[in-house]
Amino acid sequence: MDTTFDTVRAEALFASVLQVSQEPTPLQVRGAVTSTLRRYGVNGCVGRVAGEFGEHPETAARRMSWALQMVREAYEDLAAHDFAYAG
């Protein structure tokens, strides 16, 4: 199940310059998400995603699937680590 954070992060990754072909590491994904959010903000990322879906829906859908998968993987170990020390 995706959270709002997952969605925002995936939109930022989608809007970033990071490419599928680069086979990014979790650290690279988190860095791209952070820098893209700083550059465009949440609304700017959403606008870029919407524009791509409007102009290139077939490739945008594949990129968003990739972005969601990468975000889940990149932040999964951080979430598990945070909860391990929450008690």
Q: Look up the pTM and report it.
A: 0.86
Residues 6+ apart with CB under 8 A from 63: 14, 20, 52
- Which tokens sit at 78? 């951080």
| Residue 16 falls in which region: left (phi positive, over 0), alpha (psi -120 to 50) or beta | beta
- pLDDT (tens digit, 0 to 9) for every residue of the chain, 87 residues total? 568 999 999 999 999 999 999 999 999 999 999 999 999 999 999 999 999 999 999 999 999 999 999 999 999 876 665 554 444
d(CA 28, CA 70): 10
